[in-house]
A and B are shown apart, each in its own frame.
Chain A
Amino acid sequence: MNTLLVKRHRIIVAALIMMLVFALALSACGPADEDPDPVTPDPADPTDEDPVAGGTANLALWSDPNTFIEYFSLGNHAIAPARLIYSSLMRRDVDGEFVPDLANSWEVSDDALEFTFYLNPDATFHDGQPVTAHDVKFTFEAIASADWQGSRTSDMMFIAGAEAYHAGDADSIEGIQIPDDHTLVLTLEQVYAPFLERIYFMSILPEHLLGDEDVALLDETDFAMRNPVGSGAFELSEYRTGEYIELTAHEDFHLEGPHLDSVIIYILDQEVGIAQLETGELDGILSHYAAGISPDYVDRLQALPHIEMDMPAGGSMRKIVVNHDRAPMNDARFRQALSHAFDREGFVAAVLRGYGAPATAPLAPGNPFLHEMDYHPYDPDRARELLEDMDYDFDQTLLFLTSDSEERQQIAELAQEWWGEIGVKIEIQMFDFPTMLGLITDGEYDLGALGYTTPTGEPDAVFTSTLHSSDASPAGWNFSRVRIPEIDSLLDKARVEADFDARRAHYVELQQILPEHTPEIYLAVGKAISARNVRLQNAEDHLFYRTQNPHEWRIVE
């Protein structure tokens, strides 16, 4: 008996020790902690005349960037940090004018086919290597390559010889010439008026670090995933997934600045981010475009003296996509009826809290190509008339898809209510966004609620991708599967017209025929809402200004 007890005791002790060790090992298993190299940013150059220099800006992103090369970005979250790390050929100022970044100056030939850029010889990458025209050529050729896994390839195809390069028939792009290390000449295949606007902001990658890599695997390099090297105002010093991205000032930045010592981007939940804005822990939000701040928080934040709100007009457009491949959606009268029966003013007031305006086209207010006009006022009687005209079958129920975002659900419910009043019955089905997008891409829907970032400048990209028949889903973003010849021809003409006024005339004509065709139902353009602590200066979000000038940001206490 005694021996049995002793034996059992030993086993108990052994088991308990095992469990204890296990538990200790687990709970003490904190994150692997190599002490980060304390990066001491150089103090501001004493010969600078800035009265205020130094300091750290604390910004927030709502989600981790999935990569540090913006061309591989999913969603917008990778783009914002990239703007701080990389330089591009030009930037834009408050008025929308192009200002130098890597390119000190540039010329466009009379026939609008040749673009010459004179690069700043002082520009260097974060590792000290100079930035040359070869880096730009390398970047553009990588993007144009058939092995490229990222975005923007279609923009490169406007350059002469790019198609051949893409097809593998040429070793390099003919239309990119480098007369000397700091001069770049781009020649286009044919006139493409929006060209400069499409390429001015593209991040330039270092050839000396990526030139030997397989283009197809660029997104898997350590460079893209963890350690980018750009020539922008700030360099990456530490990245902890799910926590923060720390950027420190690039001492040899080629433009004046940066004035800040560092920028820390925290990955936060929106609720917590708003709370931190209130306490002053956070200086601003880096998530931009549609992923800014929800209108529900505006009143709360505006009331605070240390917060300044930015509500530039270029925000996200809310629209309802209509599947033209199915009846009765393929009848223009039906689409017009739905448009007349949707109370846009009511929507802006109730859902957007007034922060927005009804939309007649997928362009931001203030866009030079926007043609101001009223169409389809809220008129349920007219809507009913149209339905009678086309002998609408009032017994049918149509499928309306929406995602789990609260706003889209509200759109669906409002549509159901307002369209119900004219006798159109819809069934709402809610899915998470990727599922909904999958169904819409496959055409398994009648109507759906979507949004789109509205351009503040060149309209070609948004019009073509959403309305041109060649981009009809599943090929492109024309989810409504619009195939209207008049629209196609106007878009094709506008794209190759170099003269601004003539081009604008085409887009105006396009907008004027939109009411009759109603390819999609545009609801409203919401304002992009962002908030800033007043201590962060020169960081206003303007129409053209967003994150264009991190080197000019200052902290003023």
Chain B
Amino acid sequence: MKGLSAYAVRRIAIIFPLLLGVSIILFALISLMPGDAVDLMVSPDLGADQAELRRIRLGLDQPIYVRYIRWMGQLLTGNLGYSTTTRLPVAESIVERLGPTLLLMGLALAISVVGGVLLGTVSALKQRTVTDHVATLGAFAGVCIPNFFLALCGIYVFSVILGWLPSSGMRTPGIPFSLVDRLMRLIMPVAVLSLESIAIFTRYMRSSMLEVIHADYVRTARAKGLAERSVVYKHALRNALLPIVTVLGLRLRWLFGGSVIIEKVFSWPGIGRLMVDSVFTRDTGVVMGIVMISALLVMLGNLLADLAYAVVDPRIRYG
């Protein structure tokens, strides 16, 4: 598979200039926003001289290209810089927050894929029956209802009225690690997040499956006398899964970006929330760090998806 490895190498090589471009555009955009981190620190207790001193210390008094070069220089030595608000190393903050986000989004994605594939397959096989219609309607509902609305409804019903589930937070403070505690707190946010994605995978799977089932080779397999089960699972399903791999690749950025709204509503200490808070406090260091890492992970993820796709579908040839 010489073509494939060469393709992979080319894709990896392109990541660097892409990241460079992203960093320049992002840095420019943030710097062009009026107001910087020190403006927010202004209070009657902080005089103008001290504000200026702080600006100098944070390096915010330098012109934009100097600041960018300084940041880039730090990055090349593996240092993502420091948060202008908490003074903590950016890398530390990101690592702290990335885990919870990946946990949440990873679970939601896994459930959506599995659920979507199952629902889509059933829907396709039982096309035009009640089952199909119910599944389709459910899918549309999942896509149409805004996730924050679902989240707040969920909290109201399951926490306030019924008292079954905790309404926020990733863990209960002060107690040693409890799997039950963690799972209870995962149920609502994961459910809300899955519901919107499941719809997408269901629809794709359904149409893909329908297309495959009516294909010639499936008819051939049936004609050969193979059991229906074998036809569906061994032949139809595997081929119908191909578009799912593509969609999965597209959803990867979702995995690393987190859902700001869900994280905020459920007080989930994730990276989406950190990102938004940092933008509002003009915390350039953190924003740059998060975006660069997310960009890198997304590019790598997409590459993996593309490679997997090529491996799985022998018709694909990367030139």
Contact = CB atoms under 8 A, between A and B. Distances in A.
Interface string A228-271: 00000000001011111010000000000000001010111101
B245 to A, nearest CB: 9
Nearest to B36: A438
A14 to B, nearest CB: 8
A120 interface: no
B110 A243 contact: no
A323 to B, nearest CB: 16
A175 B107 CA distance: 62
Interface stretch (A24-32, A127-135, A377-385): A24-32
A74 B270 CA distance: 21
Nearest to B310: A15
Interface residues of A, number: 78
B93 A241 contact: yes
Given A19-B304, A271-B152, A434-B40, A246 B174 contact: yes
Contact of B45 (A63, A152, A238): A152
Interface in B168-189: 168-171, 173-174, 176-177, 182
Nearest to B107: A27
B277 A224 contact: no
Contacts of B82: 220
B236 interface: no
Contact of A242 (B57, B103, B274, B304): B274
Residue among B34, B100, B156 with the highest chain A CB neighbour number at 10 A:
B34
Contact of A462 (B40, B44, B110, B307): B44
B31 interface: no
Interface string B156-174: 1001100100011111011
A263 to B, nearest CB: 11
A157 B50 CA distance: 14
Contacts of B267: 242-243, 266-269, 272
Interface string B35-64: 110011111111110100110010000000
Given A275-B159, A279-B160, A244 B99 contact: no
Given A154-B45, A241-B269, A74 B170 contact: no
Contact of A477 (B43, B88, B280, B314): B43
B106 interface: yes
Interface in A424-456: 431-439, 441-442
Given A31-B100, A149-B57, A241-B93, A26 B255 contact: yes
Contacts of B282: 434
Given A15-B307, A243-B269, A244-B173, A438 B34 contact: yes
A101 interface: no
Contacts of B312: 12, 15
A39 B176 CA distance: 11
A33 B96 CA distance: 10
Contacts of B235: none
A30 B100 contact: yes
A383 B136 CA distance: 63
A108 interface: no
B160 A23 contact: no
Given A12-B311, A30-B103, A74 B41 contact: yes
Nearest to A278: B160
Interface string A203-238: 000000000000010011000110000000000001
Contact of B265 (A32, A266, A272): A272
Nearest to A474: B48
Q: Which of B33, B40, B47 has most A Cβ within 10 Å?
A: B47
Contacts of B103: 27-31
Contacts of B106: 23, 26-27
Contacts of A347: none
B45 A66 contact: no
A276 B266 CA distance: 12
Interface in A159-197: none
Given A434-B39, A434-B40, A437-B40, A476 B304 contact: no
B53 A149 contact: yes
Contacts of A549: none
A19 B39 CA distance: 46
A119 to B, nearest CB: 25
B280 A275 contact: no
A476 to B, nearest CB: 6
A434 B35 contact: yes
Contacts of A152: 45
B42 A8 contact: no
Contacts of A29: 98-99, 102-103
A74 B47 contact: no
Nearest to A240: B269
A436 B42 CA distance: 13
B155 interface: yes
A224 B87 contact: yes
B85 A31 contact: no
Nearest to A466: B44
A540 to B, nearest CB: 25
12 contacts: A11-B311, A31-B170, A36-B174, A38-B174, A149-B57, A225-B86, A241-B96, A242-B269, A243-B269, A264-B174, A278-B160, A279-B163
Interface of A: 8, 11-12, 15-16, 18-19, 22-23, 26-33, 35-36, 38-39, 63-64, 66-67, 74-75, 148-155, 216, 219-220, 224-225, 238, 240-244, 246, 262, 264, 266-269, 271-272, 275-276, 278-279, 281, 431-439, 441-442, 461-462, 465, 474-477
Complex A-B, nearest 9 residue pairs according to Cβ-Cβ distance, in ascending order: A438-B35, A27-B106, A242-B269, A151-B45, A434-B35, A465-B44, A475-B48, A438-B34, A31-B99
Given A38-B174, A438-B35, 5 more contacts: A15-B307, A220-B82, A278-B160, A431-B34, A474-B48
